[in-house]
Amino acid sequence: MSRISVRGFAVASATAVTTVGAVVGVAAGGEQSSTDPSYEATAADSTLLADIPAGQQAVAQTASLTQQADVQSTAADAEAKKSAEEAARKQAAKDAKAKKLAAEKAAAEAKAAKDREEAKKKLAASRSATRDAGSFTQQASYTIAEVQSMARQIVPADQFQCFSNIVSHESGWNYKATNASSGAYGLVQALPGSKMASAGADWRTNPATQIKWGLNYMNDRYQSPCGAWSFWQANHYY
């Protein structure tokens, strides 16, 4: 219990007793003296109580609560500001990372597109005959060296070795080679040999016509002579 409430209770009690005594004394015909010690004590206590208003403590407590509320509000605002700044920092970092990933993805896609385009150009170049088969002067017969020279002029340089590997295995560069059991014919052992007529009517006797047909066949079926050679190595036919 607070000081003011305890003292107030004591003063009130003393006052009540003194008042009752005074009333009794008057009723008995007596007269209370102003010099009576109990009277002076009561008066002094009454003066002290008057000097400390009863509502003062309530006002002080209200002011203290208000100050605490202000402090708590300020702390809450500071914490909220700190949280907002932290959230903004994290979001900025997240956005920066997403932007970086998007840029890297775009760059990778652009490079992939460029690589595909270059691969297409390279494939197209490798698929194209460097010299037309019809530009060679026809002869009654051809040596292996002559046939190989024709092939070097028709087949793209980066595909020649693969083309040569297949021809070496299939016919040994003999443009008249015939498979007795299957009927396959020529340098690339077309089956049947008449397929090569699409490259020229002279397919039986002209190595250039056979080379042209063989190059087109490898390009159409395996993308290139090297693609055909890879398949041949795995399966021993193409």
pLDDT in tens, 29-40: 444 444 555 544
**What single-letter amino acid sits at 132?**
D
Residue-averaged pLDDT of the chain: 80
Domain presence at residue 63: no
Q: If you average pLDDT over residues 10-15, what whole number do you get?
A: 43
Two structure tokens written together for 30: 């007596």
| C-alpha dihedral sign at 79, 85, 89, 91 | positive
Number of domains in the chain: 2
Whether 199 contacts 216, CB under 8 Å = yes
Domain presence at residue 218: yes
- DSSP for residue 90: H
Whether 133 contacts 201, CB under 8 Å = no
Q: Which range of residues forms the domain containing residue 13? A: 3-52
List the CATH number of the domain containing 214.
1.10.530.10
Domain presence at residue 116: no
Residue-level pLDDT at 214: 98
Q: Which residue has the tokens 């399966």?
A: 235
Cα 82 from Cα 72, distance rounded (Å): 15
Among the candidates 32, 52, 72, a domain finishes at 52
pTM over 0.75: no
Domain presence at residue 186: yes
Domain presence at residue 14: yes
Domain presence at residue 88: no
pLDDT in tens, 116-170: 776 666 666 656 677 898 899 999 999 999 999 999 999 999 999 999 999 999 9
Angle in degrees, 0-180, between the axes of helices 37-51 and 3-27, rounded to the nearest 10: 140
For residue 201, is pLDDT > 50? yes
Percent of the chain past pLDDT 90, that is, above it, reads 48
| C-alpha dihedral sign at 30, 33, 37, 43 | positive
Please, what's the largest Cα pairwise distance for the chain?
174
Domain presence at residue 141: yes
Among the candidates 36, 52, 68, a domain finishes at 52
Q: Are residues 46 and 138 in the same domain?
A: no
Domain presence at residue 67: no
Question: At a CB cut-off of 8 Å and minimum separation 6, what does 200 contact?
Answer: 133, 134, 206, 209, 212, 213
Burial class (CB in 10 A: 0-12, 13-18, 19+), 236: exposed
Cα 208 from Cα 93, distance rounded (Å): 66
pLDDT in tens, 168-178: 999 999 999 99
Among the candidates 14, 31, 52, a domain finishes at 52
